[in-house]
Structure 1
Amino acid sequence: MEMTLRSILSGKPSKLHVVGLNDTVREAVRIMVAGDVGSVLVMDEGGLRGLFTERDLMRRVVAEGRDPGHLLVEDVMTREIVTVSPDITISQAMALCTERRIRHLPIYDGETLMGMVSAGDLTKAVVQDKQHTIDDLISYIYGGETI
């Protein structure tokens, strides 16, 4: 049985990196840098309104020569968000990221925001799973001996 996003979330810190619609881009970048993340959730009145990503920063702020200290996140965030269930498989999530050309997937269980995974999180989970399989095969072939 293939792993689901729920399994990735269980291994990630539960802290969500969040900004508000009226926060400045500079504040959003400060939060991204402090959290070592490539995006932040944009929340308002308890609901997800968008994402602010490194791509948004480069395309809508830096490339246009706009001042991040005076520019609001609401004016440059990504509004069309793809959200997913924690029960979809990692393969399904990777296919969705590829198909939609996105890197971040907020995860909802019903109405509850559980967290977010990145394309990097998905890749890491696949690599770890493959390494586990390789280790098991080596152990089987060599009868438990390590090489």
Structure 2
Amino acid sequence: MKEPVSMILARKGSEVLALPPQASVAAAVEMMNQRNVGAIVVLDEERVQGIFTERDALRRVIQRRLDVESTDLSEVMTRQLAVIRPSTSIQEALAVVNAKGVRHLPVMEGETLLGLLSVRDLVQYLVEDQQHQIEELVDYIHGQYGPSIHG
């Protein structure tokens, strides 16, 4: 997949759920549940400070038995982010996900956050692309591919 991840962002949109570092874990979890997402970007005046994921909630909040109402995201967010650029190929993005063991990749251009891609987004694109290729091959086999020589 040599196509850039910007193709996925163009389809998906660039809306990113975000909260400030002083927001509570409870607020983040509520937002994640309402929107059925697994991560929220932590922004401080438009600058990415980290990401808070379902994994962070389990390992850094629940396992430590922290109070979700009084614990700020800044205390439990992931600070070391694997980020990609919009020109990063989908294949490269999948390699980053695999190598870093992450499920969410912020798409950044310099200091500007352009979007957030999940493993689900990447896999969905691959499945749709494979389905399209299969349909083209079936059409080719049945003689329905390309310009007609009879017309």
TM range (shorter): over 0.9
Q: Which residue of 1 aligns with 2:50?
A: 50
Q: Which residue of 1 aligns with 2:36?
A: 36
* TM-score normalised per structure 2: 0.91
Q: Tell me, yes or no, if the aligned pair for 2:25 and 2:72 is still in contact at 8 Å.
A: yes
What is the distance in 1 between the residues matched to 2:112 and 2:46? 10
Q: How does 1:1-147 map onto structure 2 within 5 Å?
A: 2-144=2-144
Q: Which runs of 5+ in 2 are unaligned?
A: 146-151
C-alpha distance after superposition, 1:16-41 (max 9, x if no partner)? 10011100000011111122110000
- The one-letter code sitting in structure 2 at the alignment partner of 1:143 is G
CA apart distance, 1:117: 0.3
CA apart distance, 1:109: 2.1
What is the distance in 1 between the residues matched to 2:50 and 2:58? 17
Q: How many residues align?
A: 145
CA apart distance, 1:139: 0.7
Q: Tell me whether 110-119 or 44-53 shows the greater mean CA deviation.
A: 110-119
Q: Tell me, yes or no, if the aligned pair for 2:47 and 2:112 is still in contact at 8 Å.
A: no
C-alpha distance after superposition, 1:60-101 (max 9, x if no partner)? 111121111111111000000111110111110000110010
CA apart distance, 1:13: 3.1
CA apart distance, 1:111: 3.2
- The one-letter code sitting in structure 1 at the alignment partner of 2:14 is S
Bigger radius of gyration, 1 or 2?
2
* TM-score normalised per structure 1: 0.94
User: CA RMSD for the aligned pairs?
Assistant: 1.4
What is the distance in 1 between the residues matched to 2:99 and 2:111? 25
- The one-letter code sitting in structure 2 at the alignment partner of 1:141 is I
What is the distance in 2 between the residues matched to 1:16 and 1:46? 12
* 1:74 to 1:111, Cα distance in 2 relative to 1, 3 A: closer
| SS of equivalent to 1:11 | helix
Q: Which residue of 1 aligns with 2:148?
A: none
Identity of aligned pairs, percent? 37
- The one-letter code sitting in structure 2 at the alignment partner of 1:123 is V
